[in-house]
Amino acid sequence: MSNVTMVPLAGPPAPDTESREPGTGPVTSRSPGRLAWDRFRADKKTIAAAIIVLLTVILAILAPILVATGVLMPYKLNQNLLDDISLPVGAFGGISWDHPLGVEPGIGRDVLARIWYGLTFSITISLTAAIISMVIGVVLGIIAGTSGGWVDAIIGRIIDLVLSFPQTLMLLALSATMLAFITGTLKIPAGDLAQAFYVTAVLAVFGWMGIARIVRGQVLSLREREFVEAAKLFGASKPRIWFREMLPNLWAPILVQFTLMLPAYISAEAALSYLGVSIQEPTPTLGNVMRVSISYAQADPVFFLAPAVIIVIIVVAFNLVGDGLRDALDPRSNR
């Protein structure tokens, strides 16, 4: 009998761990939201801008609380900190530990306190106007895109008509008439509340056209999709198709447009305050603080530069966040 050599059966090959490329491993699926967040987080400039935006919102919320508790005093007159010609005593506009941005020439109010408290009014007006504009634009854009025909044509002509009005000129020309209507007919108390209501309404009325056109364009590409046709076959009403089927698929462009609209409104409110249309002294806003500082641009440059630099930082931060959201939600887009 011949000798038979028993060869053990070969098992599964051992994994070649040495030849595997570093960084490779099991593939994990990620949702579109997670992918967008990863792209957003990878942009360091956007993260820095988002931190500034978050800090701005927190400061705007805290300001009324600090004023009510007496920690922040934007109306206090510090006449003892002014010299014989009503300019701040000390270098750089009277900067000190008690007044980090100095005091206001003429009457000695704390510059930081006024800018901080003014931030609350500017952000509130801009945010309210942006939300109203967004609601109007989204609703009209969805209706125009899904309806088509004469409805789309009428909404398109309304957009063209509103765009043809010179917004700033209309604000200045109609301010007295509209404020009389607001206080007389709408019974809103005259003063800061009426001014804020007027500016918010005008910014909202003249600001919804861009988002309406964007939403309409998106809806034109969605209305032929299968889920919309299925909703129609099941007898869904038009409002249900608009807001239950269309709207959830439009959040990305709406969110991006909102983050880009808000800084534009902050700049517009500051400009209107500077022109004397928005909230007036002594109540501070970023615009009217800067308007007061213009008179002291040479005598006290710190007082002039402080509100200007803060407005620039806030607007740039909001714009960078909007750009970052756009790139994160749509990686095919270019800056």
Query: If you average pLDDT over every residue of the chain, what do you get?
Result: 82
- How many domains is the chain partitioned into structurally? 1
Asked whether residue 272 is assigned to any structural domain, the reply reads yes
Cut 0.85: pTM above it: no
- Would you state the structure tokens that stand for residue 261, as one six-digit string? 């609209």
Asked whether residue 10 is assigned to any structural domain, the reply reads no
Burial class (CB in 10 A: 0-12, 13-18, 19+), 181: middle
Amino acid at 237: S
Asked whether residue 41 is assigned to any structural domain, the reply reads no
The model's confidence at residue 268, banded by pLDDT at 50, 70 and 90, is confident
Does residue 284 carry a pLDDT above 80? yes
Asked whether residue 157 is assigned to any structural domain, the reply reads yes
Which DSSP helix (H) or strand (E) runs through 129?
helix 111-147
The answer to whether 93 and 303 are in contact (CB under 8 A) is: yes
Task: Express as a percent the part of the chain with pLDDT over 90.
Answer: 16
Q: pLDDT (tens digit, 9 = 90+) per residue, 244-262?
A: 777 777 887 888 888 888 8
pLDDT in the model for residue 133:
92
pLDDT in the model for residue 19:
45
Asked whether residue 281 is assigned to any structural domain, the reply reads yes
Asked whether residue 6 is assigned to any structural domain, the reply reads no
Angle 63-65-70 (CA atoms, 0-180°, nearest 5)? 95
Does residue 145 carry a pLDDT above 90? no
DSSP notation for 280-305: PTTS--HHHHHHHHHTTTTT-HHHHH
What's the CATH number where 258 sits?
1.10.3720.10
Asked whether residue 190 is assigned to any structural domain, the reply reads yes
Asked whether residue 259 is assigned to any structural domain, the reply reads yes
pLDDT in the model for residue 29:
61
Closest CA to 110 of 121, 119, 118, 102: 102
Residue 158: which residues within 8 A CB-CB, separation 6 or more?
140
More confident residue, 67 or 180: 67
More confident residue, 17 or 123: 123
pLDDT in the model for residue 20:
46
The model's confidence at residue 1, banded by pLDDT at 50, 70 and 90, is very low
For residue 290, the enclosing domain spans 61-329
The answer to whether 30 and 39 are in contact (CB under 8 A) is: no
The model's confidence at residue 177, banded by pLDDT at 50, 70 and 90, is confident
